[in-house]
Amino acid sequence: MKIATLVFENVTALDMVGPLEVFGNIPNSEFVYVSPSGSVSAERTGLGITATAAFNEVESADILLIPGGQGTRPLLTDEPTLEWIRAIDKTTSWTTSVCTGALLLAAAGLLEGRPATTHWLSYDLLEKLGAKPTPERVVFSDKYVTGAGVSAGIDMALRLVQEMHGDEFAQAIQLGIEYDPQPPFDSGSPEKADPAIVNLVRVVQTAQDKLTPS
């Protein structure tokens, strides 16, 4: 089971590490971290992540994982990245994304007309890129599995492992990573959060987007 993760400068680390922590329990799995630009730094925390391969070194995968982050924006028009995504997708059993990673799948043409999810602030852009934004935590559309913002990658991966290996295996992983979430507030989605908080996050994120080259 070969699991290829795209890594890029200003990736959101939790987008990739959430699912990877789940996938890491799949027997005989092999992980490859593929980058357009060598090793990278995650956004906000500067966490350095090692790339283990360049595009021309990875020609297939069983699972393709595309995380999100501000670093997706310059890649939305980067042909080598989009070409690699399309080429790997031809070989996968599952093509997955978390957060704004869905924008890259859509920019590569893989979500045309398909229901898909992304970070709640990026529904409009996902729609412009041809997908049908669907405000759910995890969306399956044939082999395309998209997760909502950042932390949703854990749920996405558990749902996928359930699909691949059944309920008991997914439950064992959930217990192994002690995923018994107890957030201090019920403010994790724009429908549930206080409107003032939603507005605050929207303003801050829009400002960050404007500062990012695309």
Residue whose tokens read 């913002």 = 149
Phi, psi (deg, nearest 5) at residue 19: -60, -40
Q: Mask 89-128, x = binds a copy of itself (CB under 8 A)?
A: ----------x-------------------xx--------
**Both tokens assigned to 177:** 């990573």
Nearer to a copy of itself among residue 87 and residue 198 (C-beta): 198
Contact flag: residue 152 with a copy of itself (CB under 8 A): yes
72 within 8 A of 101, measured Cβ to Cβ: yes
> In angstroms, what CA-CA distances link 11 with 41, 67, 99, 138, 195?
7, 7, 11, 20, 28
The sign of the dihedral angle between the CA atoms of 195, 196, 197, 201 is: positive
Q: Does the protein bind a copy of itself through residue 9 (CB under 8 A)?
A: no
Q: Which residue has the tokens 């064992």?
A: 172
> C-beta of 38: minimal distance to a copy of itself in Å?
12
| 99 tagged catalytic | yes
Q: Check binding of 193 to a copy of itself (CB under 8 A).
A: yes
The residue ranges that bind a copy of itself (CB under 8 A) are 12-14, 17-18, 20-21, 23-25, 31, 33, 39, 43-50, 52, 99, 119-120, 137-138, 148-152, 154-155, 158-159, 162, 167-168, 170-172, 174-185, 187-190, 192-194, 196-198, 200-201, 204-205
Q: Which residues are marked as active site?
A: 99
